[in-house]
Amino acid sequence: MSHPHPELTAPPALPDNGLRVVALGGLGEVGRNMAVLETKGRLLVIDCGVLFPEDHHPGVDLILPDFSYIEDRLDDIEAIVLTHGHEDHIGAVPYLLRLKGDIPLIGSTLTLALVEAKLKEHRIRPYTLAVKEGQRERLGVFDLEFVAVNHSIPDALAVFVRTDAGTLLHTGDFKMDQLPLDGRLTDLRAFARLGEEGVDLFLTDSTNADVPGFTTPELEIAPAIDKVFRHAERRIIVACFSSHVHRVQQVLDAAEKAGRKVAMVGRSMVRNMGIAAELGYLKVPDGILIDIKKIDSLRDDELVLICTGSQGEPMAALSRMANREHRIDVGPGDTVLLASSLIPGNENAVYRIINGLMRLGATVVHKGNAKVHVSGHASAGELLYCYNIVKPRNVLPVHGEWRHMYANAQLAIQSGVPERGVVLAEDGVVVDLVDGVAEVTGVVDVGYVYVDGSSVGGADEALLKDRRILRDEGFITCVVVLDAATGKIASGPEITARGFVEDEEIFQQVIPKVERAIEEAVANGVRDDQQLQQVVRRTVGSWVGGKIRRRPMIIPVVLQA
């Protein structure tokens, strides 16, 4: 099994008979999925998604893949292929198309409809090509064939890529639900046919690779949702992803049985479900939907609200309800149903919301206490089936944290893939397929690109570090005015502290230390403001660290008048 290692350097030139794969996101993380394929000087992008920020990304709205690897080669891109319509696969498309707006987008009807709605908000009119399972398209040096796969959103596709350098099968996100709500199975017959033709490199979804057995069919959660609806006393508030069409369908069906009306809450939920209903992917019972503005005309036991916020996103509807910052006032008798899994890293935020809602008196039903969610990803048993059907020559696990990809790699080896043909890589690691052999050949610089308000890429790790210090440690300002002629202190030091439990008077103790340090520095010929500011910073920092056991942000200001 091939591993990336810190000694990796820039990759060599790609041979004419080579196929290169570089992930700009999605390897070693759950989200930000984006792979770049290259052969004969041409590029193909598969997916272009976002990663949602965690607690250690204060102030960040979204995290994008780093496009710098392809920024100078945008004219070489044949197309962006989108496997399905979840944000972690399409959310960064507007930011890539800002760089070059005429890169063609290829995907299924629903996927393109969802991404086109996003692009409309960015005032981008894309070139699109809608495809469906079984369809083949030639794009320059890339010959693409699309395969139906089952996922937690309709119309998901795997993509088989034929090139002169070899073949590649990318599953996208998938599972093998044998009782799918929409009747659309993962096409294992197509997988087998492609396996017979020969799959040189198999990129497989790793998200559930460490979960034994088989993923539960969507159909099996309907009784649990019905039970929630039967026992709810007042309103039912359902939180799920704004693109989870299957889950919304189950909620609509349960609401119809219970005689309740449904209102969608949140712009993305209203937009996406409107698109799904218009295209026929969501079957909305007649008369069941009502506008959010009309909910006050119904009794509480006649109402269901479907909203976003199942991952604890601070600005989503459910978070604002838990914090009493939303027009919907949650209280005793209300039932909140969290109908999504926990994305790794979001656990604390979700449990904060659960606690907040329960404190308000609501009953909270979630995956931990009821069978109200099933995963959209293949578990270990399903992945083994795929390996045995496809019989790939080489495997590159994708989509998941390191533990997920490692588990996926072990499954590949157990199924008979030669250990040297199983490649574990991280974002930026270059994998070349040459003469049927895949191996790591180098690394390119990729990092996190932060969307911070209207700024894209302006925030960096240094800024986030400052924000974390401000959040966790507080800050101290120290202002000193020196006589420009003599160098003696004319005013100050004045100290202001924020974010400390200690009384502000305690900071008076450091003033004599600052005075002595400045006097010594001036006596030694230091008159530069910046150097004197460093003297103040070190003096205050040393005292605060020893006295209060904190490492706050220290902002020294030295003026000469």
pLDDT digits 0-9 by tens, 442-457: 999 888 887 765 556 5
Is 177 annotated as ligand-binding? Answer: no
Residue 170 annotated in ligand binding: no
Per annotation, catalytic residue among 66, 155, 200, 205: 205
State how far the Cα of 247 lies from the Cα of 261, in Å rounded to an integer: 16
Query: CA of 256: how far to CAs of 250, 302, 525, in Å?
Result: 10, 11, 82
Q: Is 377 part of the annotated catalytic residue set? A: yes
Task: Give percent above pLDDT 70 in the chain.
Answer: 90
Taking each helix axis from N to C terminus, what angle separates 380-390 and 188-197, rounded to the nearest 10 degrees? 40
Consult the annotation and say whether 399 binds a ligand. yes
Selected residue with higher pLDDT from 485 and 295:
295
Q: Is 89 annotated as a binding residue?
A: yes
Q: pLDDT tens digit string along 52-74?
A: 765 666 556 678 899 999 999 99
Binding residue per annotation — 173?
yes
The pTM is what?
0.82
Rounded CA separation 256/235 (Å): 14
Q: Which long-range contacts (CB under 8 A, 24 or more apart) does 513-519 make?
A: 513/539, 513/543, 514/478, 514/480, 514/539, 514/540, 515/489, 518/480, 518/482, 518/489, 518/558, 519/488, 519/489
Cis peptide leading into 493, omega within 30 of 0? yes
16 CA to centre of own chain: 35
Q: Which residue has the tokens 């490492």?
A: 551
Q: Is 86 annotated as a binding residue?
A: yes
**Domain 18-213+376-459, what fold?**
Metallo-beta-lactamase; Chain A (3.60.15)
**Is 546 annotated as ligand-binding?**
no
DSSP 284-343: PPTT-B--GGGGGGS-GGGEEEEES-TT--TTSHHHHHHTT-SSS---TT-EEEE-SPPP
Two tokens at 456?
């894209």
The CATH T-level fold of domain 474-560 is Ubiquitin-like (UB roll) (3.10.20)
The answer to whether the annotation marks 483 as part of a ligand binding site is no
268 known member of a binding site: no
Ligand-binding site membership of 76 (annotated): no
3-state secondary structure of 560: strand
Label residue 531 by pLDDT band (50, 70, 90): confident
Report CA 557 to chain centroid distance, whole Å.
Answer: 40
Is 297 labelled a binding residue? no
- For the cut 70, the answer to whether the pLDDT of residue 249 exceeds it is yes
The alpha carbon dihedral of 40, 44, 46, 51 has a sign of positive
The answer to the question of whether 542 is labelled as a binding residue is no
Is 373 annotated to bind a ligand? Reply is: yes
Q: Which two tokens stand for residue 423?
A: 């490649």
Q: Which two tokens stand for residue 104?
A: 């063609």
User: Would you kindly state where each structural domain of the chain is located, as residue ranges?
Assistant: 18-213+376-459, 218-365, 474-560
- Amino acid residing at 530: Q
Answer yes or no: is 366 a known binding residue.
no
Per-residue pLDDT at 253: 92
pLDDT digits (tens, 9 = 90+) for 78-101: 999 999 999 899 999 999 999 999
Listed residue (257, 271, 232, 10) closest to 116, CA to CA? 271
Domain 218-365, what fold? Rossmann fold (3.40.50)
pLDDT category at 109 given cuts 50, 70, 90 is: very high
Which residue, among 167, 154, 155, 173, has the nearest Cα to 193 in the 3D structure? 167
The Cα 161–Cα 163 span in angstroms is 7
Q: pLDDT class for 460, splitting at 50, 70, 90?
A: low
Share of the chain above pLDDT 90, in %: 48
**Does the pLDDT of residue 217 top 60, yes or no?**
yes
516-542 average pLDDT score? 80
pLDDT, residue 348, reads 74
Phi, psi of 189 (to 5 degrees): -65, -40
d(CA 455, CA 478): 30
Per-residue DSSP letters for 492-522?
EEEEEEES-SS-GGGGGGGHHHHHHHHHHHH
Q: Is 340 annotated as a binding residue?
A: no
Radius of gyration of the chain (CA): 28
For the sheet containing 553-560, what is the strand order? 489-498, 475-482, 553-560
Select which of 366, 377, 404, 427 is catalytic: 377
Tell me, yes or no, if 205 is annotated catalytic. Answer: yes
151 is in an annotated binding site: yes
Q: Which of 493, 555, 488, 491 is nearest to 522 (CA)?
A: 488
Q: Is the dihedral of CA 183, 185, 189, 193 positive or negative?
A: positive
| Of 301-315, 323-337, 419-433, 460-474, minimum mean pLDDT range | 460-474
- pLDDT over 80 (residue 129): yes
Which one-letter DSSP state was computed for residue 2? Answer: B
